[in-house]
Each structure stands twice: as C-alpha cells, then as structure tokens.
Structure 1
C-alpha cells in the first residue's frame, strides 16, 4: 500500500523504520520541527533525519494547515499511519485516504487515553501497559481498535524501561494491522468509552512528592519519573532534592509524613502515608538522591542520621 507517515520522536522514528523495512511504499513523511521542550527532548530520535537518509519526501509542520492538506492530496496515499503526532488532525486529512488513518497509541485503550500514558499507568498502579492500533476519528484516541499488544508491569520496572518495551512492540502491532487492512480481514472493535480514562500532560508540579501518599504510591511515582525524565522531587532544609531510587520499607513507621526518620539497611526511611500518626504505614526508604547541582548521593551519605523533614517547598 501507499503510506504517508505522521510521527515524531523515537516513536515516530521506529514506526517509519518499520514501514521502510516493509513491503509498503512510503510516499511521504510529516513530522514536527525539533523542540527543546523537556518531554520532547528525551526520546528525540529524528523522524526527519531518517526520512531524508532514505530520500523520502518530508513535510515539517507544527499543526495541519492548507498547505499540508494540499500535500496529502498530491501524495495520494492508501492509508495514513500516525504515531506521536502532537496536534489534532482534521477529517479532511485523517479521512482522506481510502483506508483512513491508523493511529498507534502507547496504552491499552480505552485506558490511559491522552498524554504520558506509560508514566500515568505506572503511577496509578496498573498491572500492564501496551500498544494499540486504532482508527483515527474526530476525538482523541477514541476510534475503533484493530490490534493491541500488552506488557506486564514488573514490581521494579521504571517508566524508562516500559517505554522501551512498548516501542519494541511497534513492528508487530503495525504490520499485523496493515496486513489485515490490505487483505480485508480487519476486525475493528468499538471502544467502550465508559471504560475510558483520560490523563493530562505531565507538568513539573506533578512530580512534587506528597508525603501523605502511601509509600507504595510514592515508590511508583519515583519509578515513573526515572532518568531521563524529570525526577520526583522534594525539599530538605531549603534545598530541592530529586529522589532517584527508593523502595517500600520492611518495617512500619509512625509519626508525621515527611519525617527523615531512621536508617533501614542501606537507605533512609521517610515517614509516609495518610494515617502515619496511627503507626500503621510502611515508610518510603530512599536509596539514592540528586541535589540541585546534579550531584548524586547514596541516601546515607546525604542523610547520615535521622532528623528534619522533607517538605513541599523551600
């Protein structure tokens, strides 16, 4: 089939490479200009560079406009494939090809519609993540599902590892979907939108640690904000520190949330939880942290003894 690919960052590059390696003909590539926005500079493999390396025609756009619509008509694709295209596409584009537009979204729709789905899935305590190929419609990630693949979330997985694992699913999910469309065997499933969960873009504020959360929730937050993401952070005696490695304590610790309490094995136990004063909660044991100047510390080097509080501001 004649394919136009809309995509950006590593997700888009992996999708384009899959199409280049397939029997399908890539007749055009649409991508965004490079950005230094924090979440767009992490998984920053270039769709544009890969397309030009293979002498494919490239159109750069921040959002669709009349010029892009005219270009789509000129390319005359059988189908559009989209992965990590960052703005809404109008029906004049997504419905133009005979087979419409197939979008790849890195969650198991209808769960985790929207933004940063891997991070939000891990934070929320989901048991698995995955990749969905679905038909694009006029709303965000609501179209009929064609193919899906899932990966279980392990007890110590980070968002970084889960992103890599879901990116590795792209060839299998995409090519299975294209085969079924081309050969007329596609079985589209409407989404049950009563089951939809819709998450917003992450902001720096979302990574500020709230010590009234259960330690297990904080552990997932810290793993979701693993390097190279902006780490979960807190303040200690006026200094901002990022928690880069932690785990749930073996012991039960009571008191006031945020109290730097006592050594447990090789880490420092921080009192946490909504009912910490009742002495029923596990603590979060900090293993490693990073100061605002970028220096990494083992927790017991930074906290040689208990005392003081981790807080929400300087």
Structure 2
C-alpha cells in the first residue's frame, strides 16, 4: 500500500508499506479523505509543538471500514465513518476527569503517532463514528468542527452574549457555527477576502481588525502570537478569552489590564465527545458544509502541491483524496 511520509521538515516521500493487521478491538480502514490543517502545515515547516520525524500526517479522517470483528460495536465492512484521532490512556488524572482530550499520555494520529495519509490503517472501534447519510466530504470535516464545538462548550457561552472570533480559517469558522447555535451575537476578524466573504454568508459582521467594541467571549483561532496577545484587549470586564491554537513561543499580556477586567483565560485542546453531536447537526441540516472544501489533492500530488497550500489565499479547506 502507499503511504505519504513527512521524512523531515520540508520533505515528503511516497513509500510502499505492508498492509497493517488490526489488533483486538480495532478495525482496518481505508482512507477516503484526509483533511489538511494548520497542524500539518506547521509540521511541514518544522514549527509544530510535540512533533517528531519521520511521521505520517493525517488526523482529519473520513474512512471506509475494510475489516471489523463480528462483535465490532455495530461497525461493519463498507461503513462510512469519521475516525476520531485522539488516543488516550483512560487511566491518568485527566482521563479520570473525563478530559481525555488532554490525556497525559495522549497520542493524536498524525501528530504523536502515524496518521491516516496512507491507503490502509487501523483504528480502535470506539473511535469510529458511522454515518449512513453523510458523504466522505462531510465526514472529513467532523474533526475540525468538533474542535469548534469543544471550544464553545469550554467558553460556557450563553445566548445573547457578545462574541468575537479572531481568525476565519476552518477552526474559526467551526467556532462561528457553534457560537451561533448557542445563541451568541457573533462578529469576526479576518483579513483574507475569501474567508471574510465566506463568514459573511452566515450573516455575521466581519472586520479586518478589532474595533473598540469589547466582547464577553473572545476566541482566538489564528495561530499568531501577535493576534493572541492583541486578543486580551478585546475582552470585556468579567469576560472570557479562549485560545484554540497552539504556538511554540510565549504569549505575553498586560497584567494590569488582565486584572482590572478580571478576565478568564482558557485553552481549548482537541475535542471530547463532540463527534456524534457534529454528525447529528450535519445530518439534520443544521450545518451546511458544501462550500468548505476548496482544494483537492491526489495522493501522488502531495509532495508537489502541499508546500503551496499555505500561500493559497483562496483556500478554506484542502483534502487529500484516496479514491
């Protein structure tokens, strides 16, 4: 089978490898769509925290089940699934608290361990979320949408609260969807014209930079230290600031401002328990993902086309197709 390996920063190779053999409690799956995101681009550039090389990328995964045990939790060959990439230990302090998304020994497919940018791989049965109604194009978006859902849940957003989302990339757009679903009064900040227009179709105001208005809940989904530091200035007295991206360097803030406004700063990592909710919302027509995928790559094109994607101003979401 073919697999795409990031051998070191800036260098992909397509290799042949033997087909994996599933262990007890696992299914063998075939990759159908693999979404590309900031984590993948940062890994390619050599600036992703918690990352080692060589690595097979791929944590946004739409798969077809090839082989599953007879008692496989209702999972059968031929099923279309979103594969949840977060492998947790189940025993550490975080897991015992129900926060497996920040397990002390977490392994995220495509980050800490090899991911899904290969024709076949194995996944724990309880990490497969089946849908008979969604396409592979829809299923590949479940993971990034789940990150947005988790961030909004972390914020404890209440209906009617003023919300500012900084960054209208896929994660920012996912936050937008769930903030609207929670009844937030949302505006966004985005400099990319295509992404501004994309967000405006959802009926929200989109600025090119923050104005003087403060928000009760601010989400930063930029992956930019400068933007993260600027976000503190946008938080209302008693408000919350949620960081949904991770950077390698320190983020600094004005402590007198932080104290005066008694703001709460939260991080949001991965998601926990959100996949069924996201799938249900798409199946129920409460979330339209039709325009999200703007760029498609064949497997053999990854080494050539991947480096250009972060520079593509017209890109919302790129996916690798394994059809």
Q: Aligning the two structures, in what range does the TM-score lie when normalised by the shorter sequence?
A: under 0.3
Q: Which has the higher contact order (CA 8 A, sep 6+)?
A: 2
